[in-house]
């Protein structure tokens, strides 16, 4: 059976020693009183909830899955899920980072993000029920009317009601311009919505009395394509004027998807049969509101893979220390045993360190993105808000795609550490592989994220935002460039930073002549950009560790951080050279394949 220990010390290192989040947060009026001790205390308690309440339900939830009563369309979650959710809302966890105006605690996004990392390690399928509510909350907070906010946000803040996002239809996924769901205006200002949605996570369940669905649909006069989509609130149960629950609405689960992983989460086929909805925002402008939810979800999906990477690493490390097989190639290490523990073997260490490095780098990126989100929404300086939003837009596809691809690599590596036992269900490792696999697909496949990064976020503004990130790298290079002890961390990012300018310009020029060149290079390009971002954070982590060691700190924690950074730059970062080479081969070798694909 797997185990899980919340990585509080690693979180504290990134937040307080590398990125100094409390100091930054204190520049924001609503967080002027926040301090390190408060952040640590909240996360310590959050870790207890994750490890003691959510984690024990992970394997049982996977085995049991969700069930549907076809006669009533009611969905039942696995045993213990509903009770765990009750503890979650009773503990105030749903309200952690929500606005006090709606009953929230008003804590920083970074605290909620690190709490959710632990929940994802503990039980990704369970965590998706409350997790999706945050995105729906954000969309309504940004684009809802005062009446809509007053009706829905307090209950979503408390966790009494959850949320879902209803986009995908049987014939269209990412290409939302093809959707067919219709919204007919009614005399009372509401809309009757009819259509079918699929792959709706947490679309129906028994954990709350109401679910607030955000649904994309077309008005009768809607223009074709993506510019003809409107956004609607469609509650599972209609809400009366006094806030009480009324009649059951015409939206229900027609069936559950049978999936590779996240069995404990209800992935629903949703039927809208004249369901009553109210419009969010302006007609035909629905994507503006939905993008708020989608971007929140993309950061959340990256956090899911970070959580799975961490818990897979913890269990693989424990197994490698305990399992004995063969002798070390360099001589016996455990003389009192008939064989050495497998952790003595170089490739086992490579697999373990791969997972550890991707967890450490992913956590740094998640904390950084959370702080950008905070500044974008709440900083008093307009320029800071604008710059933060621009940088967050650049990093969001990297946080989604790079972290989930890395999660795939890491969970598979950790399963491999177990050998044959990794393939056996009782050890829990194969579930982490299965659960992580969806993260590369939903909320925009990783190819879509790559096209977004290269096409929109980089080439769309002639690399202006990428250059701003390059300046961050440049500042660090200038600060530590003459420090010999930092050379092994600084030199690689300095070189790649220079290469990225030429690499980006070359792809942009080829793409101007033939757009397929962008499509052919995008996935490799995102991974190169991801390593530049990770390299920057690993250099900063190494910088802190070296300073502590130089000051006489003998805590092995800092030695571990230094060793992880060295491993990352020696064994993982160098794939950028191959990626740039394959990206430069262009689209012809891909598109001139009609005979091979006939």
Give me the active site residues, please. 443
Terminal-to-terminal C-alpha distance of the chain? 47
Give residue 490's region: left, alpha or beta (phi > 0; psi -120 to 50): alpha
Assigned token pair, 188 = 């009372």
> 346 burial class (0-12, 13-18, 19+ CB within 10 angstroms)?
exposed
> 529 burial class (0-12, 13-18, 19+ CB within 10 angstroms)?
buried
- 432-442 b/e (C-beta count within 10 Å ≥ 16 → b): bbbbbbbbbeb
Side-chain half-sphere CA neighbours of 190 within 13 A: 14
Give the other-Cβ count within 10 Å of 152's Cβ.
25
The dihedrals phi and psi of 490, each to the nearest 5 degrees, come to -80, -45
What is the spatial distance between Cα 257 and Cα 267, in angstroms, rounded to a whole number? 6
Helix, strand and coil in the chain, % to nearest 5:
65, 15, 25
What is the spatial distance between Cα 224 and Cα 10, in angstroms, rounded to a whole number? 49
CA-based nearest residue to 359, from 413, 395, 280, 428: 413
What is the spatial distance between Cα 54 and Cα 500, in angstroms, rounded to a whole number? 42
- Contact predicate 568/538, CB 8 Å: yes
What is the spatial distance between Cα 204 and Cα 66, in angstroms, rounded to a whole number? 10
Name every residue whose Cβ is closer than 8 Å to that of residue 333 and which is 6 or more positions away in sequence: 327, 340, 341, 344
- Contact predicate 474/554, CB 8 Å: no
């Amino acid at each position: 059976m797997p185990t899980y220990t919340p990585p509080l010390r690693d979180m504290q290192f990134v937040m307080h020693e590398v990125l100094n989040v409390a100091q930054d947060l204190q520049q924001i009026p609503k967080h002027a009183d926040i301090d390190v001790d408060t952040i640590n205390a909240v996360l310590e308690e959050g870790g207890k909830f994750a490890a003691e309440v959510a984690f024990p339900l992970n394997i049982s939830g996977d085995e049991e899955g969700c069930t549907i009563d076809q006669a009533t369309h009611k969905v039942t979650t696995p045993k213990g899920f509903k009770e765990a959710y009750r503890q979650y809302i009773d503990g105030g966890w749903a309200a952690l980072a929500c606005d006090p105006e709606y009953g929230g605690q008003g804590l920083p996004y970074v605290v909620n993000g690190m709490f959710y990392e632990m929940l994802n390690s503990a039980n990704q399928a369970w965590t998706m029920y409350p997790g999706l509510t945050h995105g729906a909350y954000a969309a309504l907070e940004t684009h809802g009317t005062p009446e809509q906010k007053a009706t829905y946000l307090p209950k979503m803040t408390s966790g009494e009601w959850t949320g879902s996002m209803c986009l995908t239809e049987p014939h269209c996924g990412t290409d939302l311009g093809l959707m067919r769901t219709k919204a007919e205006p009614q005399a009372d200002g509401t809309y009757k919505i009819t259509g079918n949605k699929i792959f709706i996570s947490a679309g129906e369940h028994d954990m709350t009395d109401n679910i607030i669905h955000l649904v994309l649909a077309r008005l009768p006069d809607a223009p074709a394509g993506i510019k003809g989509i409107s956004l609607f609130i469609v509650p599972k149960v209609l809400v009366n004027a006094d806030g009480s629950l009324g009649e059951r609405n015409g939206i229900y689960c027609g069936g559950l998807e049978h999936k590779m992983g996240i069995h404990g989460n209800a992935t629903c086929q949703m039927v809208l049969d004249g369901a009553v909805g109210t419009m969010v925002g302006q007609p035909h402008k629905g994507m503006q509101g939905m993008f708020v939810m989608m971007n929140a979800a993309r950061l959340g999906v990256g956090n899911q893979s970070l959580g799975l990477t961490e818990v897979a690493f913890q269990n693989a490390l424990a197994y490698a220390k305990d399992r004995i097989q063969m002798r070390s190639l360099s001589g016996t290490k455990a003389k009192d045993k008939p064989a050495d523990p497998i952790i003595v073997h170089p490739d086992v260490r490579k697999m373990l360190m791969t997972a550890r490095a991707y967890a450490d780098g992913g956590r740094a990126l998640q904390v950084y993105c959370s702080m950008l989100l905070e500044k974008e929404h709440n900083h008093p300086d307009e320029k800071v808000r604008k710059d933060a939003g621009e940088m967050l837009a650049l990093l969001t596809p990297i946080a989604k795609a790079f972290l989930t691809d890395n999660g795939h690599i890491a969970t598979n590596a950790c399963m491999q550490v177990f050998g044959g036992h990794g393939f056996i269900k009782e050890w829990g490792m194969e579930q982490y592989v299965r659960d992580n696999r969806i993260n590369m697909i939903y909320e925009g496949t990783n190819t879509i994220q790559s096209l977004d990064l290269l096409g929109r976020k980089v080439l769309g503004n002639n690399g202006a935002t990428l250059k701003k990130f390059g300046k961050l790298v440049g500042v660090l290079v200038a600060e530590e460039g003459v420090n010999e002890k930092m050379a092994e961390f600084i030199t690689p990012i300095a070189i790649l930073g220079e290469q990225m300018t030429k690499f980006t310009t070359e792809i942009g020029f080829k793409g101007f002549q033939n757009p397929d060149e962008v499509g052919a290079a995008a996935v490799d390009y995102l991974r190169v950009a991801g390593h530049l971002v990770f390299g920057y954070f690993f250099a900063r982590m190494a910088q802190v560790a070296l300073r502590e060691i130089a000051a006489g700190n003998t805590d092995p924690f800092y030695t571990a951080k230094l060793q992880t950074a060295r491993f990352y730059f020696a064994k993982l970062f160098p794939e950028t050279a191959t990626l740039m080479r394959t990206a430069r081969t262009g689209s012809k070798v891909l598109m001139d394949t009609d005979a091979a694909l006939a």
